Structure 1
Amino acid sequence: MHKSIEIDDKIFQDAIKFYGSVFSLPPLASKIYAYLLFDYDKVGITFDEFVEVFSASKSSVSTSISLLLNSELITDHNRMDERKRYFFINDGYKKIRFEKIVQKLKDELKLLDDLDRFKKNHNNYNEKTEAYKALLTKNIIQIQESLNKL
């Protein structure tokens, strides 16, 4: 099994499990993503290396790479003097991921506001809902401030 990068098996397995769960990835896509985490020098990993390292079919690797590219978890590029594509972790994904989280929090906050406006017509005030909305608002602000630093 030819590897162009050095990996730690325990960390690799932990990363497969964690990112598979966090991003809802199928097993091979999770392995590819975890493998790319170890490409510290950003040399890029080729399609053929994934096929060889994971002993997977070309179609399975292709499907997994397409999923990761469409999800913006990885990027690719071709070098000028080669036909091969090289794959990399999308460093911008951290920001994209948290922007999506902020949007979900805002959507939930809007839904709760709409429900509150509806409930007020029925004289039904809920202190816990207000505390929850305050927590959502606080988290939105904190995440947005951190995103501005990225």
Structure 2
Amino acid sequence: MEIDKEIYQDLVSFYGEVFHLPPLASKIYAYLIFDFEKKGICFEQFVEIFHASKSSVSSNLHLLLTSNLIKDFTPIDERKRFFVINDNYIKIRFEEVIRKMQTEMEILNRLHDFRNSDDENLNEKFEIYKSLLNKNIDSIQETLTKL
């Protein structure tokens, strides 16, 4: 498998930060991105590629699996498990973003009702923020439908 080292390092940094991954997990995830044909990488290859202990590779693969960032499969003619990027993760990730924005909107509505302010400036800012949240929710939902 061919990788571009500069892009790989950028992916490691980016996904480590975005997904709050430990260094080895972000390296594994970034490496799997270069498996464009989705052939999969087996456990032993990760141990060899990253010069890491079996337990470290195992725990980091487990983290990526439980986070739904990757999937595993075992071909019918093999005993080894292979790992690939979870293509559905984009949908999972943005559905979670939508859920968080909807929860925030619900809580803010309750807070706004509780406060019951006559301050027009405050009420206008609240409506602008609600509008922004709604537009983002709609935009993300529309994009997910297209995907």
Q: What residue number does 1:141 align with?
A: 138
SS of 1:72's equivalent?
coil
Could you list the runs of 5+ residues in structure 2 that have no partner in the other structure?
A: none
Which runs of 4 or more aligned residues in structure 1 lie more than 3 Å from their structure 2 counterparts after TM superposition?
A: 122-125
* Aligned-residue offset at 1:81: 1.2
Match of 1:33 among 25, 29, 32: 29
Query: Aligned pairs, how many?
Result: 145
Identity across matched positions, percent = 57
> Structure 1 residue 10 and structure 2 residue 6: aligned?
yes
SS of 1:87's equivalent?
strand
Distance 2:134 2:115 in 1: 20
Distance 1:142 1:64 in 2: 33
* Aligned-residue offset at 1:124: 4.6
Match of 1:130 among 127, 136, 139: 127
Distance 1:84 1:148 in 2: 35
So what's the TM-score if we normalise by structure 2? Answer: 0.96
What is the one-letter code of the residue matched to 2:112? Answer: D
Q: CA RMSD in A?
A: 1.0
What is the one-letter code of the residue matched to 2:14? Answer: F
> Structure 1 residue 117 and structure 2 residue 133: aligned?
no
Distance 2:89 2:65 in 1: 11
So what's the TM-score if we normalise by structure 1? Answer: 0.94
